[in-house]
Amino acid sequence: MDKRAASELSLKEKGDEHNPLNSKLPHHVRGILAQGAEYTETLDQSIDITDAAILMAADGYGDGKIIGKDRQTKSTVIIRVSETHRSFLFAVDPDAQALFEEVNKHIKSINLERGLKHK
């Protein structure tokens, strides 16, 4: 998105039962679960854009939905990845420095929880 100077991106792909999408998402999820942030650092520009979009949504940047079939049970499976909002209560007329410190504390907590490494 940075490369294209986009502030918003919408993607939609659809395969069919006999010709499903080529996705490495399960591989990437297993890598993230096993290695955490270390795995995401190894991802390069070759990751498919839709796989990257779903991973970003899972990290709290946007939303996504995956619909597929369970190979064993043949039932439809829906996975929803939605934005995660954080909120907190603070004084109605806050001191600017105190508000900054509280917001900064929450942002640092989210970064630690999600293994984010923002510049």
Q: Summarize pLDDT for 71-106 with one digit per residue, the tens.
A: 777 778 888 887 566 677 888 888 999 999 988 888
Instruction: Note the pLDDT tens digit of each residue in 11-37.
Output: 899 888 788 888 998 888 888 888 887
* CB neighbours of residue 111 within 10 Å: 12
Q: Cα–Cα distance between 48 and 24 in angstroms, integer? A: 8
pTM (predicted TM-score) = 0.61
- Helix crossing, 25-35 with 49-58: angle to 10°? 40
Q: Strand pairing partners for 64?
A: 81
Domain ranges for the chain, please list them.
Answer: 1-83, 86-119
User: What is the pLDDT at residue 118?
Assistant: 59
